[in-house]
Structure 1
Amino acid sequence: MKSDPFLYQDIARQLETLILSGALRIGERLPSVRQLSKEKKVSISSVYKAYIELESRGLVEARPKSGYYVRFSTKQIQKITHIRQQAVTRRQKVKSLQEEVYVPLSDPTLIKLSINKPDTSILPVTKLKNSLLHTVRERPDRLVNYNNLQGDEELRRQIARISYAAGLLLYPDDIITTSGCLEAIHYALLATTSPGDTVAIESPTYFGLLKAIEAHGRIPVEVLTDPVTGIDIPSLETCITQHHVKACIVTSSFSNPTGAHLTEEKRKALVALVTRKDIVLIEDDIYGELHFDPHRLNACKAYDLQQNVILCSSFSKSVAPGYRVGWLIAGKYRSEIFEYKMNHSVTTASVTEMAMAHFLKNGRYDLHIRQLRKDLHTQCLQYLQAIYEYFPGPIEVSAPKGGFVIWVALPMGCDSVKLYRKLIKKKISIAPGQLFSQKLDLRTYFRVSFGSPFTPEIDDALKQIGATLQQMI
């Protein structure tokens, strides 16, 4: 009998595929541990671990003296297939709504379903602390001096190493570090566009990207986006022609707020389009590592032969939000972006970059990221099951294959801002859809983050959202 320590994950993945496809139906009994052990020619321990794994994800349940049964399948959920293209009659007040939603988040008693980040409990806090202590103890002289202007060399070497999984072959000198991914996007915008230029962006999108475009006097133009497969390429091409677009910002993997994920075909088509039109694609790849499938897709940058793509990313969503360690791969715009970094901040912080470099080299980052994906996948399924059980119909949701967020569509006539205001009185925070567009009327949408483990408090919060929706509908 085979007894590979990771063999149980393969078995769990195979059974999960059968459950999610509907081949195994809810309530159906699974093969006994002993039977599946014989069929797969693996140890009983491996099968048992696989069932425990599926049980933790809410996909199966153990019944005393009876065995394991299929409990839940995302196939049961009514999924979002498109975003309603209803335009607003006036410009949305995104800034004031953003303040209304995010100012109360300092309240420690709040259930923060509106925050798009991993909970501290699923981050490598101890290993990061050890890396930080090592850095302070071994290199105190470096910490009080300016960092390398392009970023800590060891950090850039480690980023080049882990970028291989995204299909990128990099040298440390290809990378410029930044204080987070959003700063990298700011630099990319400044280096490739001028005030008054038009920048295409997905719709809906993260409000921070809209603000970044407008902060520098550029004009955002929102482009039709599929909530499953990402930005619509024909619509983008029309937009480029009609509005003389100079740059385009796209989150290629598990975008915020819909969780949309560009297919490999779309990634290639997107790069081919910007190359043909000779415009810049600023690829936001901050969620690229957080995939639930066995392997991640190549970044758009991997298909960029003419250096029209600038990739921006950070460790804020995968390792340490507070460290503010980001980077970009600038290609032919390297010198312009380097100059903007020099003029803006001269350099980035030495201590966090050196500590992150030490963690990447010695802290078993690969093991952490695998566990993080597993935790997020489990949490996603648990949240979806609670939504399925508690939310009244007809409500549609996304079923993302990575990242942190679930996008919820309410029936026409419902208002997620009103829902937010009712829930905040109950100490529950969600992100209303209006935050994510200036062009579309997204009042019938809201975003829920599953970055926190599924606790009884989270379960109760989702139950209260469902009860509130029932009253509103």
Structure 2
Amino acid sequence: MDQRTPDPPLYETLAAQIETLIESGVLRVGMRAPSVRAFAAQHGGSLTTALQAYRLLEDRGALEARPKSGFYVTPRTHQDRALPAPSQPPQRATQVSISNPVFSVLAYASDPSYAPLGCTIPSTSLLAAERLDRHLARCARVHGRNYNIYADPHGDAELRGQISARALRLGHAVPPDGILITNGCTEALNIALSVTTRPGDTVAIESPTYFGLLQVLEARGLRALELPTDPASGVDVTALDKALGARRVAACLLASSFNNPLGTRTSDARKAEITRVLTRHGVPLIEDDIYGDISFGADRPRPFAAISPKADIILCSSFSKTIAPGYRIGWLAANRRHDQILAAKFALSLSGAALPQKAMADFLTSGGYDAHLRRIRQAFADNVDRMRRTVDRSFPKATRMTDPKGGFALWLELPRGFDADALYVRAIRERICFVPGSLFTASGGYRNCLRLSCSTEWSARIERSVERLGEMAEEMLG
């Protein structure tokens, strides 16, 4: 009796061929798969069989169909790796003191001789700096004399108009006069904190949170109240409500989208719930929307300010992660405190550099920013996907990792008792730089966690460095 296993249906064989192309990196995240007709002709199958293969891959989450466009490769879910556990920071306000170790990490992160897994600074080859430089050269040649002046403290009017128009597309109706151009997002956050807090006050934040925000709090003499945060859904609203009812909190500082380091995308419903809680307690929200434009999905998340336009919200953002970090062009928008914000900007830096603002305005007016965003979103999604696959095969089996929906940070959680600071010391000796988890908190936690940056173009060097980190982690766990 013939006991041979029957051959799989042809559509499953064709689907496996597509999966091989995805696993090998020939088809990358965000890329369009071959058309159904072309794929059928290439492999000698019918249109119906090829379509069955594509539908099977869609069911598996490997492809997504886009109307009138075709099938595209989706980020892999890596379901065998659990997400990090929701954070449980101590329910007390903490004095912030992290600047010295941060400066040490930054020194290695900026050294090109170290594998660039540290700071989330995008590769220049991925950004639009070269095109922007051409606009700057033209502006200097044609308008240089007119822009070699102290600019209006509000910032370039044309640039503010472009930012206002883009905000309106997200349902955030902020007029150009309600926008203030700043020297990067960091100055915007400093201004926002200066008009909502005084030294010694407490600011509620996500946990873990970006170490740069902690440095800002430290410099301003503010205390941090870290909130329990789920890597999949965001801040625990019940815990937020309880915390605000138990103590005076001067402001709440949250990421709008894709928290660094977790990459969390908070739903519109939860954002509305958070702003209702803050409004009830009379606490202003400062939202950091710097990663909002780097979404891997079909839609860009809406900021808190668009969802709750009447709430006391100050939105801060910049073009540093999408166009050119060196131009230091950020902005803030607020529906209240305008005079205070303008006075704070004037006292802090008088105004921004006029010529770079004019060049940025010309760049946005000329069009092409949306096409540029589509390109870098695909590139960063591909980087994150490759990083996750490399971690998946290289790190200890008990390692948990996030599943970012945007941005370019990946957060790893190793078993309790693992010392990521010790791993960092070993990695630096081998010229590999990453950021240990202890820098993303003011309360001494996350010693078993680390953040990997996916902001640099993928290469054999990066892949080998991640593999080596996994090997060292395995050795340290015994």
Structure 2 counterpart SS, 1:139: helix
Answer yes or no: is 1:402 the counterpart of 2:406: yes
For residues 322-357 of structure 1, give each alpha carbon's deviation from its aligned partner in whole angstroms, at most 9, with x where no partner exists: 110000002111110000011111111112111111
Letter in 2 for 1:254: F
Answer yes or no: is 1:33 the counterpart of 2:39: yes
Residue pairs, 1:228-239, within 5 angstroms: 228-239=232-243
Q: What's the counterpart of residue 451 of structure 1? A: 455
Selected match of 2:465 from 457, 461, 466? 461
Contact conserved, 1:88 with 1:440, CA < 8 A, in 2? no
Q: What's the counterpart of residue 383 of structure 1? A: 387
- Tell me the CA shift for residue 393 of structure 1: 1.1
Q: Kindly tell me: are residues 419 and 129 of structure 1, through their superposed partners in 2, closer, same or farther at Cα, counting changes over 3 Å?
A: same
Structure 1 counterpart SS, 2:250: strand
TM-score of the pair, normalised by structure 1: 0.84
Answer yes or no: is 1:119 the counterpart of 2:123: yes
Structure 1 counterpart SS, 2:198: coil
Letter in 1 for 2:131: K
Q: What's the counterpart of residue 211 of structure 2? A: 207
Residue pairs, 1:88-107, within 5 angstroms: 94-107=98-111
CA distance in 2, matches of 1:316, 1:390: 32
Answer yes or no: is 1:82 the counterpart of 2:48: no
Letter in 2 for 1:34: A
Answer yes or no: is 1:254 the counterpart of 2:258: yes
- Tell me the CA shift for residue 239 of structure 1: 1.1
Selected match of 2:373 from 369, 387, 391? 369
Answer yes or no: is 1:263 the counterpart of 2:267: yes
Q: Which 10-residue stretch deviates more, 227-236 or 426-435?
A: 227-236
C-alpha RMSD of matched pairs (Å): 3.0
For residues 391-431 of structure 1, give each alpha carbon's deviation from its aligned partner in whole angstroms, at most 9, with x where no partner exists: 12111100101001000001111111100110111111010
CA distance in 1, matches of 2:80, 2:327: 37
Structure 2 counterpart SS, 1:222: strand
Contact conserved, 1:113 with 1:449, CA < 8 A, in 2? yes
Q: What's the counterpart of residue 427 of structure 2? A: 423
Letter in 2 for 1:304: S
Answer yes or no: is 1:298 the counterpart of 2:331: no
Q: Kindly tell me: are residues 408 and 280 of structure 1, through their superposed partners in 2, closer, same or farther at Cα, counting changes over 3 Å?
A: same
Give unpaired runs (5+ residues) of structure 2. 1-14, 24-33, 64-72
TM-score of the pair, normalised by structure 2: 0.83
Q: Which 10-residue stretch deviates more, 234-243 or 79-88?
A: 79-88
Q: How many aligned residue pairs are there?
A: 428
CA distance in 2, matches of 1:72, 1:267: 25
Q: What's the counterpart of residue 441 of structure 2? A: 437
- Tell me the CA shift for residue 100 of structure 1: 2.4
CA distance in 1, matches of 2:436, 2:396: 18
Selected match of 1:341 from 332, 340, 345? 345
Residue pairs, 1:268-283, within 5 angstroms: 268-283=272-287
Structure 2 counterpart SS, 1:78: coil
Contact conserved, 1:142 with 1:350, CA < 8 A, in 2? no
Contact conserved, 2:96 with 2:224, CA < 8 A, in 1? no
CA distance in 2, matches of 1:346, 1:402: 34
Contact conserved, 2:119 with 2:453, CA < 8 A, in 1? yes
CA distance in 1, matches of 2:50, 2:410: 38
Answer yes or no: is 1:187 the counterpart of 2:196: no
Q: What's the counterpart of residue 7 of structure 1? A: none
For residues 189-223 of structure 1, give each alpha carbon's deviation from its aligned partner in whole angstroms, at most 9, with x where no partner exists: 11122233221111111122122223223322111
- Tell me the CA shift for residue 284 of structure 1: 0.6
Residue pairs, 1:206-225, within 5 angstroms: 206-225=210-229
Q: What's the counterpart of residue 177 of structure 1? A: 181
- Tell me the CA shift for residue 185 of structure 1: 0.8
Letter in 1 for 2:295: H
Contact conserved, 1:253 with 1:287, CA < 8 A, in 2? yes
Structure 2 counterpart SS, 1:311: strand
CA distance in 2, matches of 1:72, 1:308: 36
Contact conserved, 2:135 with 2:359, CA < 8 A, in 1? yes
Letter in 2 for 1:79: A
Q: What's the counterpart of residue 9 of structure 2? A: none
Contact conserved, 2:89 with 2:207, CA < 8 A, in 1? no
Q: Kindly tell me: are residues 91 and 420 of structure 1, through their superposed partners in 2, closer, same or farther at Cα, counting changes over 3 Å?
A: farther
Contact conserved, 2:81 with 2:401, CA < 8 A, in 1? yes
CA distance in 2, matches of 1:274, 1:285: 18
CA distance in 2, matches of 1:194, 1:93: 18
Q: Kindly tell me: are residues 198 and 297 of structure 1, through their superposed partners in 2, closer, same or farther at Cα, counting changes over 3 Å?
A: same
